[in-house]
Structure 1
């Protein structure tokens, strides 16, 4: 008898979803299907049977495509992944012909409709729809096809999606579709008793995780405070401080989807000129489109909108397709700033601050907090929140989600046909009615927006504004770069003070403790040298001396070239020179005098 019971409660072949994965089940509703997706355009007339056979032979490489969820009685634990004993590939592969004349509008309308439809949780949570008849899309050969995919977010995140893509597609047009796989032999479904036993064990272990999580959180809090003091950074943006906007209301079931395609090389060129990151430039492009879109509707918030930016917590090189390994940070988008370049500079500062604090807290610590929430309680709380439209009762957690997933920068193939483009899609929920999915592949960047008919019925206008925001930012940065180069030509003439300033830079590098108590950014304006300026950054641990301007210097010192040379060589007294009018100070005089003492110390070193 006992042996029979043991056999019945065996559960080694099933695996619970994580707390983070479960969050995508909590917030799912009839209006918010929680799947991620993509539209992949494939060059030429890929034969449907070839496509189907390729999937059939490779599906064993990602087991979750043949698994479904089972729920524990009374919802005392997270659901479990189990083999689907009735798995039928053809139930997940759709096939349709593009209506109309096969235009881009027809394709995005079809994709929007497919993305509106929830997945059936009684089966594996995915579907691929083969769309033929792409006959009238610019730069796409007539007769090409598209694959519109959907996979529930409980099963996969953005980086996992990129890994799944690498398994479906080939590196060369001549690759084989794979060997005949072994027959699928699903494990038996667990009974309610085995699920209860497994869940009770899990429930007992959860309190044991709590002290460790508290310790990690306390350490992270102390570390965060140290960052604030040492790096002189403002506190990070926190949830529920975002301004109200039309993007943060109650959503409708019908999805609206569109995309904008940019050149990766051109965006990288802007990144290099501005000495920032690719992600910062992309955030600035999206911010520019948001500002214009809402400004034209007279609904632009007076304070900056906030983006939630997901961050992968996968180890470097991990392209596994299972589960969610993500955290996030909040970034102010500077949508209240009109000038695109200034907006980019402020976004860069905001992302640096957010990354510093996010690193202190630890992405894993943030994700692990979800493991302590009982599934049943969280699930019911989420349903109450949705049913009673409670997102109307508080400020938005954030205004928009902007996710950026890097893809391969070389062509991929399916059945010998080249993959031309991949455009992403992700879910929205009440209070968060717009998500922007960025994906780079083979020299191009797609910026795809997903919303609903209630929140953004004119999403095509917004997608156009993304392209125009990119063009405007590029135009202004190239003008700035031209001016900088022209200024650099003027600065090729060496000033008398240049060698002395170079010598000061070397001494600061050799003695990093020198001037550590000053904590200020100075601008030295060489008044008789055609606009030549020097930046001396002694903020926090910085020890930077270079030619160039400063956006918001705390102290400006106006001095001619000859006097600067004498000052750097400790040949005159700064205080006397100020009294005599040979040097003028704008800002904190005490800070300037501290800099003078540091220069005197360096000259004697």
Structure 2
């Protein structure tokens, strides 16, 4: 039995029928590399064998009486792989558009909280569109979902390694973990733990207030010096900054990692600077085509892993976040990159001055019932449309494997991550490197971004524009 950290539990409290808090991934597999011919039954059996002793795959949540404290993880004694791995086929003709519609539908379905919070949908019959428009060879696609209470970007990538290897017939990369505890606590024990947690909360609050007050003072100083990160509630409003619905749209794109690295080297920037520059350019073009480009720059929340610097041992989510302007008000891609690189340096310095555990510390005070009621009230009153925009979207950059990986023996041709969307920020762009490519996954509220491809199709062109500008300077 393990108690959820406040940050992990917050993703449970944030969830509503429209604001689903799971993270997804689209894996395109080449089954021709499998040691034995592909069958769904064999694939499911291999997944079952790989996850049955991994706590993150076999534990479920159990609430504390009266919501006195955050829930706890307990082992699912009735764990059944058939409740988590499902089989589907892409509707005819089985191309990209049909696959995206199917994945968007699956992403809009909530996870069953009575079971471990993950699912995999094995989708057969996908024939990706070739350069000439003709259908290519048939692929198997795995659409995975895991609740954000269970994983963040880094831990989610690590969990995938439990199912992957460096060779088709090699064992998984990750070492074996000890099985999760089997003891299921009784109600009196959970109640007692909740009471103790409530009683000690004022002491914890006192310890957090001091450093937070000092941080605010330093942030004001940075703002006066012009070295602070972008301030929330200062973003312009766009069509994807309102109350979201339960409908989703998904779009995918690919760019070459070597091209990004060449630009990084030539400009003295970082890979993340280049990625954010591409995002800013794609968003600028998308909004301009719709006649919606604001005069001021869009602002993104960028999750940052604090796994290496955190002093907390518990909790799946070890993240913080920084705010950054994307330069959507700048047409020249090189000028946008230079601006972003400078602002990101300031934002990183500002972020590094904040305790790695600050967000986790404050999340401990998220009261289960109060927090959940507040989120539902916020959505029902459509408050996201009535106050200044906090941020326009979330952009995540997740480092992936530098070499090809094999999922149950099938080579992973592409791996597209997809994060959650929120009321007030109905678009999420997540990128992940994989064996020399950068895979871009965009997920959005369908009513806010009805055609995600109209956005992601600009990524290759923006990369070429940036390469040309760097070469000419």
Aligned length: 462
TM-score for the superposition, normalised by structure 2: 0.92
Residues of 1 paired with 2:11 and 2:423: CA distance? 13
**Alignment partner for residue 34 of structure 1, among 21, 27, 30?**
21
1:214 paired to 2:206: no
Displacement of 1:171 in angstroms is: 1.4
Q: Answer yes or no: is the 8 Å Cα contact 2:54–2:179 preserved in 1.
A: no
Q: Which residue of 1 aligns with 2:67?
A: 75
**Alignment partner for residue 382 of structure 2, among 384, 389, 398?**
389
Residues of 1 paired with 2:405 and 2:5: CA distance? 32
Show CA shifts across 1:109-161 (max 9, x none): 22111111111111111100111112344389623211100001111101011
Q: Mark the CA change 1:280 to 1:302 in structure 2 (over 3 Å): closer, same or farther.
A: same
**Consecutive unaligned residues in structure 2, runs of 5 or more:** 33-37
SS of match in other structure, 1:145:
strand
Displacement of 1:228 in angstroms is: 6.5
Q: Answer yes or no: is the 8 Å Cα contact 2:164–2:172 preserved in 1.
A: no
SS of match in other structure, 1:361:
coil
1:264 paired to 2:257: yes
- Larger Rg: 1 or 2? 1
**Alignment partner for residue 44 of structure 1, among 31, 35, 40?**
31
Q: Which residue of 2 aligns with 1:166?
A: 161
In the TM superposition, what are the counterparts of 1:201-240 in structure 2 within 5 Å?
201-221=196-216, 223-224=218-219, 232-240=225-233
**Alignment partner for residue 152 of structure 1, among 147, 150, 156?**
147
Q: Answer yes or no: is the 8 Å Cα contact 1:247–1:431 preserved in 2.
A: yes
Instruction: Indicate the RMSD between aligned Cα atoms, in angstroms.
Output: 2.5
Q: Which residue of 2 aligns with 1:409?
A: 402
Q: Answer yes or no: is the 8 Å Cα contact 1:170–1:414 preserved in 2.
A: yes
1:25 paired to 2:18: no
**Consecutive unaligned residues in structure 1, runs of 5 or more:** 1-13, 481-605
Q: Answer yes or no: is the 8 Å Cα contact 1:44–1:141 preserved in 2.
A: no
1:286 paired to 2:272: no
Show CA shifts across 1:67-113 (max 9, x none): 11112222121111111222211010011112212212222222111
In the TM superposition, what are the counterparts of 1:301-316 in structure 2 within 5 Å?
301-315=294-308
Residues of 1 paired with 2:45 and 2:263: CA distance? 43
In the TM superposition, what are the counterparts of 1:182-193 in structure 2 within 5 Å?
187-193=182-188
Q: Answer yes or no: is the 8 Å Cα contact 1:69–1:79 preserved in 2.
A: yes
- Highest relative contact order (Cα 8 Å, sep 6+), 1 or 2? 2
Displacement of 1:176 in angstroms is: 4.3
Residues of 2 paired with 1:387 and 1:317: CA distance? 36
1:464 paired to 2:457: yes
SS of match in other structure, 1:449:
strand
Q: Which residue of 1 aligns with 2:442?
A: 449
**Alignment partner for residue 194 of structure 1, among 157, 176, 189?**
189
Residues of 1 paired with 2:179 and 2:161: CA distance? 22
Q: Answer yes or no: is the 8 Å Cα contact 2:54–2:178 preserved in 1.
A: no
Q: Answer yes or no: is the 8 Å Cα contact 1:333–1:347 preserved in 2.
A: yes
Displacement of 1:238 in angstroms is: 1.7
Displacement of 1:223 in angstroms is: 4.8
Show CA shifts across 1:455-503 (max 9, x none): 00011111112222222222222222xxxxxxxxxxxxxxxxxxxxxxx
Q: Mark the CA change 1:85 to 1:294 in structure 2 (over 3 Å): closer, same or farther.
A: same
Displacement of 1:50 in angstroms is: 2.7
Q: Mark the CA change 1:177 to 1:47 in structure 2 (over 3 Å): closer, same or farther.
A: farther
TM-score for the superposition, normalised by structure 1: 0.72
Q: Mark the CA change 1:16 to 1:186 in structure 2 (over 3 Å): closer, same or farther.
A: closer
Displacement of 1:377 in angstroms is: 1.8
Q: Which residue of 1 aligns with 2:288?
A: 295
Residues of 2 paired with 1:451 and 1:205: CA distance? 40
SS of match in other structure, 1:447:
strand
SS of match in other structure, 1:246:
coil
Residues of 2 paired with 1:253 and 1:36: CA distance? 15
Show CA shifts across 1:384-424 (max 9, x none): 11222111220111001100000110111133321111001
